[in-house]
Structure 1
């Protein structure tokens, strides 16, 4: 049973990510019949910590020893977490916690602390989409999932960006104390108890740049004619190559196939139109080359992790959807 929660802080902690954990686990909601946790903010680097907001500091009497009592240890994001070293006492406390059956949680770049403790080795994990490549490079034994909001790997739970920390905290409550408790806390916070999709819907993927001019002109033409049917033979003719040579060059210069490149650009265009216009899904499907709303929904769900209607509702509000 989850009763004792500690948040482990380092210099440069992000106040919002700290606040996310405090909001879910640190408030007394006993007047509504909700659980009250034995909650503590713990410093791994002295009684007073800086944050990434100038002039904003955090003071706490609790040191790393307090972590040994916790059923859940949360590590929120912080500035410089990608490049700094971490106190050995904190890393040891995290390892001991998992060994004795407690749960550890990271929010955003807090995953780098768990990685330094060796807790991501052989485990699926999540981090903010901007840090996916660095986390995978730093900890090659970690199985980094780029398109999810959070990952529950048993005793190690990792989450992506800021709001995904809320998702992960509510997931822990749901896992440990049931759906009703998690839903009531979410209602009190005025947040959804569970969000559809993954962080793929929040990732900006600009038009890939070609490393040379072999297929550059064809890429530009493709981007301007996404609504049209295209075949490798037609594209190869524009590039004055054989289809086989064109396909090979395209893969070398873009890292993907013509079909996947077109599909991804069509989804990106659909995202922009869903965000910025009132056009119907049918009209957007026609403009982006999907042909039908059903085809667009299928590819959108595979690529972004949510439906076009849900995506529009997320970025423009329920009235737009």
Structure 2
């Protein structure tokens, strides 16, 4: 299968801090590839190295089979985590201007801009200044600018930041449509639940190192034994006393149990079956969320990883 982007053994240091530590992965033609991990994990640094904004200290990166150059940059649409538009300029004028910078004629840039504004339900805002729009509207304009020149590769960093559920769904639908047309999409986010239904493959990264990599469906199946769903009767509030359960919660399908490392579903089944307080009507493996997979593989929650990253930054700047 054709590799559109290849990253091999890349390392990036900022002073004494290693932000990216021997990371390797590839992105294939026609897929949505997700880079997942907490804030400070090294995702944005990796993206900036792919785009040649910063250089790796070691390792190799290729885009379309060679080192990135001005020609390959023209086929990439990039939505950075740090948003920025010309605030005192009309929306349509900003979009047309950026479209011309990407090689479109003025007329074509205007035509595509209006079509995108219509699709994003912002056509009536075309002649407003950017600063007059809400944060969510500005975010949608930034997204529109990213895909305006119909790039072959789209790289988006925290694409759903600042969006409500309705607009998040809208952006997701557009991305899925672009994937169907053959566009390669790389998404970087710490909001793992947002990409579960979209990504074909993923890389999870924590503290600069790759912790998981592969097909989303395969990874979730691999970690399926870390959660079970049960239905039945009894005093389910007594479940925290059953050994081997990390936590439990109600779900639409019954009681969802998250298992500790080293505990198998058979262990839990046996212990609950021996209990005089419970009767089990259904007991099955539950496909874990990507957040659960991250905890199982990294040994800590996303929040804990982000907290430790922030503490490290504060120590570094003392």
TM-score clears 0.5: no
Q: Larger % of strand: which? A: 2
More helix by share: 1
Give the structure, 1 or 2, with the largest relative contact order (CA under 8 Å, sep 6 or more): 2
For the aligned pair, the TM-score class normalised by the smaller chain equals 0.3 to 0.5
